[in-house]
């Protein structure tokens, strides 16, 4: 099973282009969608979740067109949007029961067992009888994942699942998504690079509706192999180093200051080679795009 | 449909019912309505039928308006709670079944509210006022609220879905309250809360819900045959409702729309003491026509009353006692109910338990409000207020006239004298 996206374009009323001729293939496993706010990640996810019609191009999930096969696609899909809410007066169990009924799980035994399983997967069993109105942001996000898991989906789409969560909740949610990947496609959109680095086998970088990169982390890092450096600097040197090199990160250490740079050759006396990270790859890709745009 | 599917549909309705009942607004209105009903029912001299009538009017007008607002709010609830995408991404999230479940859930929740308020009224009758509470009267008042409540919910839900704003249902709620208060031409003709217009109300409710379901199911239209059919179903139902409404109005007895020679003849009669009293031909609680000629050869006690004037409804108790006391001596008692709603006659007929023949004069469709001035018979008898009672002898001559509740007590002596002369 895979998702095929061919020449996908979405123009909102008013002429805002959210997606511009996107071509992408998503295989099973966790697939990260990385990009700044407004890059088209949410638009892509809403089209795949059959909630939005594309202006042009095609998207197929397991060979089914998202335009013409909305009902069967919804049967095999779990979706957690970026912004969502629940009915505060229902308990967690009642909420999931409501959504399970909307998933057409009419058999009460099957419904009960799926609700219990979903609550266990997101570690909310103890709070099943508590009203959702009293839940914290992290609990609501977990309940959001639980409702997406109710129909045991073959495609799970989660939009910015870790935004607004405390570090502990973020780690827990990342681990959960990695666990869920077995045998299904999990599409995770985020603007937090480390979320993708830890959970995703493959990922794509979007910028202003265009695809800048798609592939494995190793493919992106191979482009930077031998070109990533760390330089120990004095604080006053920072401006000069910025002018001389392409800086991807600035850190403070016990001995002073360190900058990560990308360069074909190191001319600084206190510079030494280091392994590239996704942060380096992401910043380099975005920079490359900005330079290309400037040339255009 | 299999048994499990039906059970699942019932659970979905239950969840929608819980969503409607658990809000603070629901309980605030229930408590307020119950207190008002208790206050009305515990007023000295208020009979069970009058208390049930007043509570039902409050339920239909007040809770009906609330039903429109609640249904409008439920239609936009997903958007307000930011749950739209969660719901729509589910296979049944844009189905017509969900709309039906929401409609039934809200409808049942409002009927529960009406049941609580009517129970409070019934209990206060027994406990505070010390009069028999007569649960059957309250039950019939609850049954009489079922269709108007359904119409209110359908109206609020479909308007908010159609115009994608709860403000549409707020406008409908204002119209709903304006209808009983307004005495305008349009409001009187289109008052679908009247029990004789129930089939119209039910047709319109079904049409509105079918329309809302068809619109709501738009995201997957073309794939769901049921949803595709709903547009046609709603169009047919709306056309049927319109035709039936036109038929009712055009065949009505309103002088402005269609002059009625019988009613004109009644109105042209004049009540003069010692001369023969004007005759009539009006339906009773079961719809059977009753005329003054049916009572030939018997002295008749004829009383005009209307539930809008609560004093006149209280006078029914005095009339009923008088009727039962003198019925063995040949006295026939007739109460003419001046009200627009056929159900009012049925509700109050239980009160007089067949001792008094209750007939219904709904008057003209519109005018200066449906009071005695709109009833041709009341005009013929020159009634200027209710309650008014006339005593007719065996020759149908008017031998006495009494007005106001207190003076009705004097009737006892006059009736005894007339019967002695006979």
Sheet with strand B398-403: strands edge to edge: B357-361, B332-338, B300-305, B388-392, B398-403
Strand partners, A29: A185
List pLDDT tens digits, range A120-155: 988 899 999 999 999 988 889 889 999 999 999 999
Answer whether A50 touches B (CB < 8 Å): yes
Answer whether A101 touches B (CB < 8 Å): yes
DSSP A62-117: TTEETTT-HHHHHHTEEEE-SS----TTSBHHHHHHHHHHHTT---HHHHHHHHHH
Mean pLDDT of chain A: 88
Give Cβ neighbours of residue B74 (< 8 Å, ≥ 6 apart).
Answer: B16, B19, B20, B102, B106, B157
pLDDT number for residue B368: 41
DSSP B153-215: HHHHHHHHHHTTSHHHHHHHHHHHHHHHH---HHHHHT-TTSGGGHHHHHHHHHHHHHHHHHH
pLDDT number for residue A65: 92
Whether A183 and A102 have beta carbons less than 8 Å apart is answered as no
B28: tokens are 């605030």
Same domain (yes/no): A210, A258:
no
A107/B15 touch (CB, cutoff 8 Å), yes or no = no
CA distance A143 to chain B (A): 11
pLDDT number for residue B370: 42
A101/B81 touch (CB, cutoff 8 Å), yes or no = no
Of A69, A84, A89, the CB nearest to B83: A84
Model confidence at B130, in pLDDT bands (50, 70, 90)? low
A81/B85 touch (CB, cutoff 8 Å), yes or no = yes
**Residues in A touching B93 (Cβ below 8 Å):** 74, 102
Residue A145: closest CA among chain B residues belongs to which residue?
B86
List pLDDT tens digits, range B289-319: 888 888 888 899 999 888 877 778 877 888 8
Same domain (yes/no): A230, A89:
no
Structurally, chain A folds into a number of domains equal to 2
Q: Which residue has the higher pLDDT, B257 or B385?
A: B385
State the best of A87, A88, A134, A137 to mutate against chain B, taking most chain B CBs within 10 Å: A87
Of A51, A90, A94, the CB nearest to B89: A51
Q: Which residue has the higher pLDDT, A200 or B232?
A: A200
Residue A73: closest CA among chain B residues belongs to which residue?
B91
A106: tokens are 């009419």
Model confidence at A44, in pLDDT bands (50, 70, 90)? very high
Same domain (yes/no): A169, A259:
no
Same domain (yes/no): A67, A204:
yes
State the best of A42, A49, A70, A135 to mutate against chain B, taking most chain B CBs within 10 Å: A70
The ranges of chain B annotated as CATH 3.40.30.10 are 261-421
Same domain (yes/no): A215, A270:
no
Q: In the predicted model, what is the mean pLDDT of residues A182-205?
A: 86
Same domain (yes/no): A100, A208:
yes
Same domain (yes/no): A203, A231:
no
CA distance B73 to chain A (A): 13
Same domain (yes/no): A14, A97:
yes
pLDDT number for residue A60: 94
Same domain (yes/no): A71, A23:
yes
Model confidence at B222, in pLDDT bands (50, 70, 90)? very low
pLDDT number for residue B255: 45
Q: Which of residues 247-286 of B touch A (CB under 8 A)?
A: none
Indicate the SS3 state at residue B48.
Answer: helix
Does B323 score more than 80 pLDDT?
yes
Of B18, B86, B88, the CB nearest to A90: B18
Among 3.40.30.10, 1.10.10.10, 3.40.50.300, 3.60.20.10, what is the CATH number of B261-421? 3.40.30.10
**Residues in A touching B4 (Cβ below 8 Å):** 106-108
**Residues in A touching B81 (Cβ below 8 Å):** 85-88
Answer whether A134 touches B (CB < 8 Å): no
Q: Which residue has the higher pLDDT, B17 or A163?
A: B17
| Residue A280 parent element (H or E) | helix A278-295
pLDDT number for residue A117: 92
Indicate the SS3 state at residue A158.
Answer: strand
B86/A79 touch (CB, cutoff 8 Å), yes or no = yes
Tell me the C-alpha to C-alpha distance, in Å, between residue B282 and each of A136, B18, B287, B333.
67, 46, 9, 14
Strand partners, A251: A258
Residue B1: closest CA among chain A residues belongs to which residue?
A106
Same domain (yes/no): A189, A233:
no
Same domain (yes/no): A123, A172:
yes
Based on C-alpha coordinates, what's the Rg of chain A?
22
CATH code for the domain in which residue A151 is found: 3.40.50.300
B220/A106 touch (CB, cutoff 8 Å), yes or no = no
Does B373 score more than 60 pLDDT?
no
List pLDDT tens digits, range A77-120: 999 998 899 999 999 999 999 999 999 999 999 999 999 999 99
CB atoms under 10 Å from CB of B291, counted, come to 12
Answer whether B187 touches A (CB < 8 Å): no
B315: tokens are 């006078």
Range of the domain at A149: 3-221
Q: Which of residues 69-88 of B touch A (CB under 8 A)?
A: 77, 81-83, 85-88
Q: How many CA atoms lie within 13 Å of A26's alpha carbon, on the beta-carbon side?
A: 30
Of all residues in chain A, the percent with pLDDT exceeding 90 is 42
A51/B5 touch (CB, cutoff 8 Å), yes or no = no
A192: tokens are 């937090």
Answer whether B228 touches A (CB < 8 Å): no
Answer whether A104 touches B (CB < 8 Å): yes
Nearest to B48 by CA among B119, B144, B145, B152: B119
Q: Which residue has the higher pLDDT, A61 or B1?
A: A61
- What distance in Å separates the CA atoms of residue B85 and residue B108, rounded to the nearest whole number? 27
User: For B375, left (φ over 0), alpha (ψ -120 to 50), or beta?
Assistant: beta
pLDDT number for residue A181: 81
B357-361 and B332-338 beta bridge pairing: parallel
Answer whether B417 touches A (CB < 8 Å): no
């Amino acid at each position: 099973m895979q998702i095929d996206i061919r020449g996908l374009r979405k123009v909102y009323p008013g002429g805002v282009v959210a997606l511009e001729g996107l071509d992408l293939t998503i295989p099973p496993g966790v697939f990260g969608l990385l990009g700044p706010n407004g890059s088209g990640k949410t638009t892509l996810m809403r089209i795949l979740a059959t909630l939005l019609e594309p202006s042009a191009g095609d998207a197929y999930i397991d060979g089914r067109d998202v335009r013409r096969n909305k009902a069967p696609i919804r049967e095999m899909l779990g979706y957690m949007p970026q912004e969502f809410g629940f009915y505060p007066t229902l308990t967690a169990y009642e909420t999931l029961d409501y959504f399970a009924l909307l998933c057409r799980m009419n058999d009460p035994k099957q419904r009960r067992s799926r609700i219990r399983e979903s609550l266990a997967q997101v570690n909310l069993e103890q709070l099943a009888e508590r009203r959702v109105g009293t839940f914290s942001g992290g609990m609501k996000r977990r309940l959001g994942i639980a409702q997406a898991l109710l129909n045991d989906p073959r495609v799970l789409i989660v939009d910015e699942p870790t935004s607004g969560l405390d570090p502990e909740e973020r780690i827990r949610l990342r681990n959960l998504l990695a666990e869920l990947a077995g045998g299904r496609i999990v599409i995770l959109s985020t603007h937090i690079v480390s979320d993708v680095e830890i959970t995703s086998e493959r990922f794509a970088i979007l910028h202003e509706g265009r695809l800048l990169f798609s592939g494995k982390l190793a493919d992106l890092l191979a482009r930077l192999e031998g070109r990533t450096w760390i330089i120990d600097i004095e604080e006053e040197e920072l401006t000069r180093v910025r002018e001389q090199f392409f800086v991807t990160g600035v850190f403070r250490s016990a001995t002073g200051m360190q900058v990560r740079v990308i360069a074909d050759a190191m001319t600084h006396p206190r510079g030494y080679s280091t392994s590239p990270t996704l942060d380096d790859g992401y910043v380099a890709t975005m920079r490359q795009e900005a330079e290309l745009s400037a040339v255009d | 449909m299999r048994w499990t599917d039906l059970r699942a549909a019932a659970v979905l309705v239950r969840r929608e019912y819980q969503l409607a009942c658990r809000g603070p607004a629901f309980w605030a209105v229930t408590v307020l309505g119950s207190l008002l009903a208790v206050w009305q029912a515990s007023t000295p001299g208020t009979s069970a039928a009058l208390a049930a009538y007043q509570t039902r009017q409050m339920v239909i007008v007040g809770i009906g308006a609330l039903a429109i607002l609640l249904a409008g709010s439920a239609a936009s609830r997903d958007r307000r709670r930011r749950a739209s995408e969660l719901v729509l991404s589910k296979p049944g999230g844009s189905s017509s079944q969900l709309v039906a479940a929401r409609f039934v859930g809200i409808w049942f929740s409002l009927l529960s509210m009406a049941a609580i308020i009517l129970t409070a009224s019934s209990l206060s009758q027994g406990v505070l006022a010390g009069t028999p509470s007569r649960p059957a009267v309250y039950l019939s008042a609850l049954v009489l609220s079922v269709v108007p409540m359904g119409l209110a919910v359908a109206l609020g839900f479909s308007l908010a879905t159609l115009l994608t704003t709860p403000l549409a249902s707020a406008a409908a709620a204002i119209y709903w309250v304006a209808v009983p208060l307004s005495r305008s031409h349009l409001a009187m003709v289109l008052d679908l809360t009247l029990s004789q217009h129930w089939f119209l109300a039910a047709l319109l409710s079904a049409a509105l819900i079918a329309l809302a379901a068809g619109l709501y199911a738009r995201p997957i239209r073309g794939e769901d045959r049921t949803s595709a059919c709903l547009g046609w179903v709603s169009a047919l139902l709306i056309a049927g409702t319109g035709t039936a409404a036109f038929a009712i109005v055009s065949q009505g007895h309103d002088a402005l729309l269609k002059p009625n020679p019988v009613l004109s003849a009644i109105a042209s009669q004049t009540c003069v003491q010692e001369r023969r009293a004007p005759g009539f031909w009006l339906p009773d609680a079961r719809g059977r026509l009753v005329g003054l000629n049916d009572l030939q050869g018997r002295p008749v006690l004829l009383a005009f009353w209307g539930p809008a004037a609560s004093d006149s409804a209280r006078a029914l108790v005095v009339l009923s006692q008088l009727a039962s006391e003198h019925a063995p001596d040949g006295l026939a008692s007739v109460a003419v109910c001046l009200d627009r709603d056929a159900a009012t006659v049925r509700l109050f007929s239980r009160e007089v338990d067949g001792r008094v023949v209750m007939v219904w004069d709904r008057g003209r469709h519109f005018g200066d409000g449906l009071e005695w001035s709109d009833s041709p018979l009341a005009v013929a008898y020159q009634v200027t207020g209710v309650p008014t009672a006339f005593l007719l002898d065996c020759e149908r001559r008017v031998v006495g006239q009494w007005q106001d509740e207190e003076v009705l007590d004097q009737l006892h002596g006059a009736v005894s004298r007339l019967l002695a002369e006979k």
